[in-house]
A and B are shown apart, each in its own frame.
Chain A
């Protein structure tokens, strides 16, 4: 394969990719369908922001946010059914079970682990030890600025953690498991080795003080922007949206079977972070995964970083076989 030159690099030499928005297919169908799949994303973002901004205190609670989050994901699953980006990414029963297993794992066991060794706990201990107060002046900022700062600080940290995972072998090992998925669906973001799921959840947000409503608004940014990373829906996202936010197109390229393409689009929600650091490529891919599309079993997903790491250690530091003299 010849590949396509994008800046200093050549992508698509190992697996087909589509580069440039003008080459990406548009939503097909009648005017209503095209209208819905053009304006769905901005409408949901602004509608939910308005909801959390004006909701009375009795409604602006975490449990309502969890309920809305689940409802929104169910709605997106419906959209995947109605207007899939690729037929080859259609959600199957098996994929749904495995995806939900990881969602459940994150909601339960991982939360317990986080409550002991998560970043918020570490920050709380450090602050207590050094008698630091939180940066309380943030609470005086307008709500939407606070919300944006919460999500931006987290996404900025996630960008560097993710980029580190693609550039440093010990971090790549746990992250590589996530790259063995062969299709994108809304819950695929939860699929990965538990070590990676823990690492990617680390952030420095706990250093700052924000008002509770700002957290709910920040969650809305994550829900109505970040969730589209792993979705099998064809949208005609507006130009400004594709410029600012990460899309399933960007992320499919990141999951491509083409190695050079995977080294792009690292951010979770804000693709302009990638633009700032020169790692953004606008495009998409259908063929995803590693090793030609080998899909790992759940057992291997759990053990791969350790078995592979052990193999590498043995190769590097193990005793070389002693050559016996020929008789």
Chain B
């Protein structure tokens, strides 16, 4: 994919300026798209770990910045990815990246080589909208559960109507089994019990928030897994690329 927006991408990161190595690697908030607090005074530092992944890797002794970035470069030659290299920094941005992209969970990021007395270090700062999405999903499904309860309360049929429906269903005689099924030994249908009768049928079914609660917990667990897993996977991927023969 071409790098049409590469030049503007570089401007999205304060850390992209080759002369600003002393600055912390923080994005320019005014142009940072997944920032829900854009223009507010909220300090994102305390909460942005939810969807920002930061880390560092030591380079092999003698490995130059150029060589290290050269090795990482192929990772950003994917469909939907634009990237820009400037001295010791590589910035990238992804749009509509396919599932086959090894870094598809991330939408943008900065990778920079820092020179230290003990040796060079690759520091990276990656942003994932999917992590934020997954973090918010439990809340969305809790809201759906509340909506289901509210609708259930609103829709609750008057007692007399419900009793009538239950009575009608209970009065319905059970259908006799076909002789073939009888011969093969299938259990005969039972007459619906009074309590169960009102549960039957799509319309009569009482709305239950249980599935929404199940999905809320599922996404909470998935978020925890993803936050740890994707952090480790990207570290492993970058290490593998840097150490590849």
Contacts and interface: CB of A to CB of B under 8 A. Distances in A.
23 contacts: A57-B187, A89-B99, A94-B104, A96-B222, A97-B130, A104-B212, A104-B218, A108-B215, A109-B144, A112-B151, A112-B207, A121-B203, A140-B175, A141-B178, A181-B99, A183-B100, A292-B79, A293-B98, A293-B100, A294-B98, A295-B80, A297-B96, A300-B96
Interface string A94-108: 111110110110011
Contact of A293 (B79, B180, B190): B79
Nearest to B207: A112
A55 interface: yes
| Size bracket of the A interface | 35 or more
B185 interface: yes
B156 to A, nearest CB: 14
A69 interface: no
Which 5 residue pairs across A and B have the least CB separation, nearest first? A104-B215, A139-B175, A182-B98, A142-B180, A94-B105
Contact of B175 (A53, A118, A211, A300): A211
A54 B100 contact: no
B97 interface: yes
A289 B80 CA distance: 14
Interface string B184-216: 111101100000000010110101000110010
Contacts of B105: 92-94
Interface in A187-243: 211-213
Indicate the member of B99, B200, B205, B218 with the most A CB atoms within 10 Å: B99
Contact of A97 (B79, B141, B144, B222): B222
Contact of A107 (B79, B147, B181, B211): B211
Given A97-B226, A211-B175, A296-B96, 16 more contacts: A55-B187, A57-B190, A60-B187, A92-B99, A93-B229, A97-B134, A100-B219, A104-B215, A108-B145, A114-B202, A121-B203, A139-B175, A140-B178, A142-B180, A143-B177, A295-B80
| Interface SS, A side | helix
B104 A212 contact: no
A143 B226 CA distance: 45
Given A53-B186, A56-B187, A295 B137 contact: no
B49 interface: no
A260 interface: no
B230 interface: yes
Contacts of A295: 80, 96-99, 104
Interface in A117-150: 118, 120-121, 124, 139-143
A211 B189 contact: yes
B148 interface: yes
Given A97-B130, A100-B222, A115 B99 contact: no
A93 B133 contact: no
A221 to B, nearest CB: 17
A43 interface: no
